[in-house]
Structure 1
Amino acid sequence: MGNDERTSEKPGGEEALSAIDFSTFILSLSTSALFHLGLIPDAQSGKAGERNLPLARQTIDILEILETKTRGNLDPEEAKLLESLLFEIRMRFVEASR
């Protein structure tokens, strides 16, 4: 596999993951929520994922906990990203729940 932003190849063909920061972490969680809402295709099959609203809700809850517990400790960019992601995912959850 070639080099990209997330991975680099180590000698021997192993891939090393790049360092993770708070923004990367919450983006990963938001991607998981969107997958559980059936909005992101499965990486293996390329087909839309099956909706699992309880798992999507749980991931939203985790992001809400992070928002509460990190309030006042985030950079302005991190706080805005978390706020924006939560808004978008909540709206998508409401649409998927109809």
Structure 2
Amino acid sequence: MNDSHLSEKAPAANRPEDVNTALFAQLVMQQSSMAMMLLGKTPHPASGQPVRDLEGAQLFIDQLEMLEVKTKGNLTPEETAILKQSLMSLRLAFVECVDAPP
């Protein structure tokens, strides 16, 4: 029995490449959210207070930069855009945080 017709009718969200794109975007957003929290841009979920940990934030930014280097040429245009936009926002937020008084 040929199951090729089943994969053609499968919803787009269930295609492996779409699932991987969604998972990649989720990973980038999680790393970005952690970095933003450590830059004091969003409150800590447990305390509700802003946290400022530049070294911790830099670690998350470095991890995203590593992903950018290691996945170069292997990402979809959508994945590339998500990663580039996240890094651009994080870098700007980091510079603002460094330049701001403690």
2:31 aligns with 29
Structure holding more strand per residue: 1
The answer to whether 1:90 aligns with 2:95 is: no
Corresponding position of 2:45: 43
TM-score between both structures, scaled by the size of structure 1? 0.76
User: Does residue 61 of structure 2 align to residue 75 of structure 1?
Assistant: no
Q: Give the Cα–Cα distance (whole angstroms) in 1 for the partners of residues 60 and 46 of structure 2.
A: 22
Q: Distance in 2 between matches of 1:93 and 1:47?
A: 18
Summarize deviations over 1:5-57 as a string: whole Å, max 9, x none: xxxxxxxxxxxxxx971110010000000011011112123222x20001111
Q: Which runs of 5+ in 2 are unaligned?
A: 1-19
> What is the aligned residue count?
79
Higher relative contact order (CA 8 A, sep 6+): 2
1:82, distance to aligned residue in structure 2 (A): 0.2
Please give the TM-score of this superposition, normalised by the length of structure 2: 0.73
Q: Which has the larger radius of gyration?
A: 2
Q: What's the % identity of the aligned pairs?
A: 39
Instruction: Point out the structure with the larger helix share.
Output: 2
Which structure 1 segments of 5+ residues have no match? 1-18
Q: Secondary structure at the match of 1:21?
A: helix
